[in-house]
Amino acid sequence: MKFVSEKVIDAVIDELDELEEELYELKMEAFAQAQPVVLAYLFNEENFHLLTEDEKGFLQYLCLIAWISFERVNGSTEPVGEELIGELEEKNYGILEEAPGKKFRDRLDPFFEGYPQEDLLAFLEEAVLEEEDDPDSFVTKEGRETIFIAAKTVLDALIA
């Protein structure tokens, strides 16, 4: 597996930001066709009922960036299975629960130890923490944990 650099991630973000809505939807459809279980997971209301609609859309956007970036460097990924996503999500929540530290940012440190795609993981971390102190941020304090764990779970599944 090749390393996905920050430069690749930034290029994907720039490309997506410049797309018209119809072309963006085509990218999401391609993601859904390539990774149907991942998209079913991301659109599962039971998993994400506590998130606002903006947060749900943001989570899907983050996962789309991660998928495109990973595939751009490493080629097509195998479709992810439902069982794998469940195992990875449970593992990630376990790491978060056992992490020392009171601040959310500090509790994410254990996720980086030996992680093979550190730039992609840092991108996810920065995305949920970017406006941490901004009361107008659409990522709520309550949503940060769920969004990070879900996006990390999807990234782990793509890498697996």
SS3 annotation, 67-123: HHHHHHHHCCCCCCCHHHHHHHHHHHHHHHHHCCCCCHHHHCHHHHCCCCCHHHHHH
pLDDT (0 to 100) of residue 141: 82
Residues 71 and 81: their CA atoms lie apart, in Å, by 17
Would the pLDDT of 135 be above 70? no
- What's the structural domain count of the chain? 1
- The answer to whether residue 104 sits within a structural domain is yes
Distance CA 35, CA 49 (A): 22
| 88-103 average pLDDT score | 93
| pLDDT, average across residues 56-77 | 96
24 occurs within a structural domain: yes
Domain presence at residue 62: yes
Higher pLDDT, 5 or 135: 5
**pLDDT for 146:** 95
Residue 57 pLDDT greater than 80, yes or no: yes
46 within a domain of the structure (yes/no)? yes
Residue 132 confidence class, pLDDT cut points 50, 70, 90: low
Confirm whether 47 is domain-assigned.
Answer: yes
Mean pLDDT, range 97-105, rounded to an integer: 88
Q: Note down the domain range covering 152.
A: 6-159
Q: What percent of the chain has pLDDT over 70?
A: 96
User: What is the chain's alpha carbon radius of gyration, rounded to the nearest angstrom?
Assistant: 15
Structural domain contains residue 1: no
